[in-house]
Structure 1
Amino acid sequence: MRGINRPLRWEIEDQMKLHGYSLNQVAELAGINAGNLSRALNGVARSITIGQLDALARLFGKAPGWLYELYTEECISEEKWSRRRLIPYLVRCAELDRHDCIEPVISKLLDNPKNVSIIFAAAEQLFQTERLREAEHFYQIVIDGTKDSFSEMLAVSHYRLFLIAQGTDAEKNWRAVIRFEPFRKRLPEHLQLAALLKLTKACFALQKWDEVEKFGDELAELSMALCRTRVKIESERHLIYYYGMGLLFNGAALEKRELYDDAKKYVRSYANLEWPEPLDESGKKEVEMFRILAKANLYTLEVLTGNEGIIDEYANYLANLNRLNESLAGLIAILKSANTYGFSADHVLPRFSEAIHAFHSFDDDLILSDRHLRFRYHKAMYEFRHGRIEEGLDEALHCLSLARKMSRNEDYVRCTALFEQYKAYATEQQIESFLKYPVRAV
């Protein structure tokens, strides 16, 4: 094994002389083994790691990334690639935005398709440390450089890009779903479960009910199939969780289609989940969680079918549950039903004033921001129906703001039309706020 290349060695030795450090002092202060450093500087053996180079940069008062442009020779010699040096080097270059160092190395790596795995490994390290922007660049290089369409590495790269793309921008989310969907079944099984759940959630927020049912079915079927094979899967949650979530989302999609009786069948199925094998404590906790969710969702379905008599009981349940997410979902159902069947919910809303004020905290969550938008729309409709025009216009403006932020074009147009309907009664301040939003067509 060769030592440090000459240009890099000369720069280090110049700094040692400039600071008056002996080799032993440098080794001690930088936390590097003195023998290894000696042999590397003398060109005898053992190259230097990127971490050691960073330590020397700190010791000599240099900026992060010092001498990175010379470090490529530590990774590449005579067309031989040092994987254990290249991966941390690419990761550090990405962290420091040293694209001037990354691109030449990537260009050389791609001369041999087998080297794509090095780029993928660097992307994975960046993803795991939540350096998502940097990881995204590397995953795209992997995708562009992988010729085998059934490669697991290719499928994982598409999955990671799908995850990175998820946010509150509806158009971006849908493009990400379309791009990733063909690769979902090529993932390792433990990632398939997580991926199907993410796809289902994304499509639910996008109101793509056909896709929700398709992915929900796949999620339930895969989790049950994995249980029956008795193969140990390193999933984030117990398999029964994914099975239950498949049923839950199928029921939720039917609810959104206003097929309430069909939705109730799904809710009852996850209210008392059955599993082919004995459950451990984690599995029992999941069953209990779904039992609680089922109770809330059965209340929701009763309310949506016009059962006004259950409103107070439902409100008490939500208040005792004291979960912001469930309060949001429950209030949407109550307001939607009140608007549909013409009853009053005025006695319910004040009980949840603190929760309603906190709904803005959901605006960075995919599903919950969608719920917040729908709550504001139904709340606006409710205020208008009860003659509280100014309050209704405020809610319509809030709804409009959320729709714009989320790139929800249809909702944006719908909220605009709602405001226009009562615009003649708006205050000057409300008109001024409304005019800040551009006119859009579906």
Structure 2
Amino acid sequence: MKRTATIRHEIIKFMEENNMTINQFARLSSINSGSLSSILNGNRPMSVNQIDRITESMGLTAGHFYDRYIYECIFHTTPDWRRLGAFLERCAVLNNLDCLHIAARMTMENMTYAPMLFDLAETFYNEERYKAAAILYECVAESEKFQHSERLALCHYRLFIHSLSDNQETNWQAVVLFEPYIERLNESYQLDAYQNLINIYGSLTQWDKVDYLAVRMGTKAKAGYENPQSGYQGRDPHIFYILYSYLARSTHYAEYRDYEQALYYVGLYENPDFIKNPTEDENIIIEQFREWAEANRYLYDLLRGKPDALSKYVDYIESKEDEIFVAICNIMIAANRYQLRVDPILERFKEHLQYRSQKNQLGKVSEHVTRGRYTRLLAELGIYYLNSKQYDRGLSYILDSLEFSIRIKSDNGMLRCMGIFEQFRQSASEEILQRYEKLIRAVQKLSVYDWSPVV
């Protein structure tokens, strides 16, 4: 890093150019003249508050001298945590992540600062300064000597949550990096960590992993429910994680078309007779899972070839705004599997064919799950119209699905769409072909240039 002059030289130069004495600049910057004199003579380092006052007095942007401050006032000798911690906090406030990163890296040369750096990362995390927190978590994780420590595991968990996005490629890398640490987390974090992993693996259609993790989460949640002193806690009551594990397992079996097993688990979250004297919050959870159970009974009957279940399913979800999007996705899968005509249903619920965030009684639905469903919905709509020989309309939906798959970097989605398009290429209009070629170039560019590792 090139540094042509020290901060002290810059201050002296400013004073000379403006014909100012130490006393005058001291009054301007609200710094004691004796302290300012000691700073300029090199007898004492500046505090973060002092360098901020000096910077403002010189008419410079906040943080202007931070890159030099790191070397001149923090690491010129053994760093003092009071000065260093204040500097890191100020970097976070100003979103000066480059200086934060440099200082944090240099700090970790002295491992005694690891606990303090971790605590500061937790402060940033709770203040929703996630990028600043991620930098500190990464530093602590890389230098942590005790490889089975809870602190190391929590760093990886925070980094996992921070790195999740609409990019399925980096989400896959994130779960691979974090999953080995989940059992090392403090029990108070494990249930939510398992739920997050289940949601990501579900969005990646890794159903065997979903089932494996659901079993583990359910076991831990039951232990917490039966023995509150076990330490297993989460954001939600224990019964949520128990019932969610049943829901995840039923989904796993349904994806493999084992509807008998899927319905078995539906029964478990529909009638949770192990719950005694539920609280008000628990009653809300129980009611939501019962609604899902009823909807999924209609769905699984429909998916295993009982056409009369379609009208029951539609009648059920019509009055349940939060369930319509999911139902339309499922209805299109069944329609293509059994050649059902569902045009009136699509017309009735056409406003639900656009992408938007989903919610239910328990809160917001995972965006990772919603994005995966939407990609599948577009593809199923395309197949539906192709089967009815509406080629332009069908291929347009296939390309919509391909475009969305490129956006979220879904390999499965891209391969599915390209395979379907090639099957019907001869029926495509020139306009559709041009759009397809443009998207294929985007796929090729993505595979070569647009890969980025997860921290």
Question: TM-score, normalised to structure 1's length?
Answer: 0.84
CA apart distance, 1:216? 0.8
Partner SS for 1:359: coil
Q: 1:301 to 1:25 in 2, by over 3 A?
A: same
Q: 1:22 to 1:97 in 2, by over 3 A?
A: closer
CA apart distance, 1:130? 3.8
| Among candidates 386, 403, 406, match of residue 404 of structure 1 | 406
Q: Contact between 2:190 and 2:232, CA under 8 Å: does it hold in 1?
A: no
Distance, in Å, in 1 between the alignment partners of 2:318 and 2:352 is 10
Distance, in Å, in 1 between the alignment partners of 2:34 and 2:265 is 69
Trace 1:191-202 onto structure 2 (pairs within 5 A).
191-202=189-200
Q: Which residue of 1 aligns with 2:355?
A: 359
Distance, in Å, in 2 between the alignment partners of 1:114 and 1:20 is 40
CA apart distance, 1:127? 3.2
Partner SS for 1:383: helix
Q: Contact between 1:251 and 1:266, CA under 8 Å: does it hold in 2?
A: yes
Q: Which residue of 2 aligns with 1:138?
A: 136
Task: Quote the sequence identity (%).
Answer: 24
Q: Which residue of 2 aligns with 1:30?
A: none
Confirm whether residue 343 of structure 1 aligns to residue 343 of structure 2: no
Q: Contact between 1:126 and 1:132, CA under 8 Å: does it hold in 2?
A: yes
Q: 1:272 to 1:49 in 2, by over 3 A?
A: farther
Q: Which residue of 2 aligns with 1:180?
A: 178
Confirm whether residue 259 of structure 1 aligns to residue 261 of structure 2: no
Trace 1:297-312 onto structure 2 (pairs within 5 A).
297-312=296-311
Q: 1:348 to 1:101 in 2, by over 3 A?
A: closer
Q: Which residue of 2 aligns with 1:417?
A: 419
Q: How many residues align?
A: 425
Trace 1:81-120 onto structure 2 (pairs within 5 A).
81-93=79-91, 95-97=94-96, 99=98, 102-103=101-102, 105-106=103-104, 108-120=106-118
Report the AA paired with residue 388 of structure 1: Q
Q: Which residue of 2 aligns with 1:434?
A: 436
Distance, in Å, in 2 between the alignment partners of 1:234 and 1:420 is 50
Q: Which residue of 2 aligns with 1:154?
A: 152
| Among candidates 374, 383, 386, match of residue 384 of structure 1 | 386
Distance, in Å, in 2 between the alignment partners of 1:222 and 1:438 is 45
Distance, in Å, in 1 between the alignment partners of 2:9 and 2:302 is 73
Distance, in Å, in 2 between the alignment partners of 1:294 and 1:235 is 23
Partner SS for 2:344: coil
Q: 1:308 to 1:124 in 2, by over 3 A?
A: same
Structure with larger RCO (C-alpha < 8 A, sep 6+) = 2
Distance, in Å, in 1 between the alignment partners of 2:284 and 2:9 is 58
Report the AA paired with residue 238 of structure 1: P
Distance, in Å, in 2 between the alignment partners of 1:114 and 1:178 is 30
Q: Contact between 1:64 and 1:96, CA under 8 Å: does it hold in 2?
A: no
Q: Contact between 2:203 and 2:368, CA under 8 Å: does it hold in 1?
A: yes
Q: Contact between 2:224 and 2:233, CA under 8 Å: does it hold in 1?
A: no
Q: 1:10 to 1:22 in 2, by over 3 A?
A: closer
Report the AA paired with residue 296 of structure 1: A
Q: Contact between 1:373 and 1:402, CA under 8 Å: does it hold in 2?
A: yes
Give per-residue Cα distances to partners, 1:200-256, cap 9 Å, x unaligned: 100001111111011111111111112222227663211211222111111111111
Give per-residue Cα distances to partners, 1:330-363, cap 9 Å, x unaligned: 112211112222221122111111111x325579
Distance, in Å, in 1 between the alignment partners of 2:83 and 2:163 is 30
Q: Which residue of 2 aligns with 1:246?
A: 245
Q: 1:234 to 1:228 in 2, by over 3 A?
A: closer
Q: Contact between 2:299 and 2:309, CA under 8 Å: does it hold in 1?
A: no
Distance, in Å, in 1 between the alignment partners of 2:238 and 2:53 is 45
Distance, in Å, in 2 between the alignment partners of 1:38 and 1:246 is 66
Give per-residue Cα distances to partners, 1:89-141, cap 9 Å, x unaligned: 124335543635752x4454333322222332343334334444443333222
Distance, in Å, in 2 between the alignment partners of 1:304 and 1:16 is 84
Partner SS for 2:393: helix
Q: Contact between 1:328 and 1:375, CA under 8 Å: does it hold in 2?
A: no
Q: Which residue of 1 aligns with 2:451?
A: none
Trace 1:207-226 onto structure 2 (pairs within 5 A).
207-226=205-224
Q: Contact between 1:300 and 1:333, CA under 8 Å: does it hold in 2?
A: yes
Q: Contact between 1:65 and 1:96, CA under 8 Å: does it hold in 2?
A: no
Question: TM-score, normalised to structure 2's length?
Answer: 0.82
CA apart distance, 1:165? 2.1
CA RMSD of aligned residues (A): 3.5
| Among candidates 394, 397, 400, match of residue 396 of structure 2 | 394
Distance, in Å, in 2 between the alignment partners of 1:201 and 1:102 is 31
Q: Contact between 1:383 and 1:392, CA under 8 Å: does it hold in 2?
A: yes
> Gaps (5+ residues) in structure 1?
1-5, 28-33
Q: 1:329 to 1:114 in 2, by over 3 A?
A: same
Distance, in Å, in 1 between the alignment partners of 2:213 and 2:196 is 9
Report the AA paired with residue 401 of structure 1: E
Distance, in Å, in 2 between the alignment partners of 1:272 and 1:51 is 61
Report the AA paired with residue 139 of structure 1: Y
Distance, in Å, in 2 between the alignment partners of 1:222 and 1:359 is 35
Distance, in Å, in 2 between the alignment partners of 1:128 and 1:438 is 42
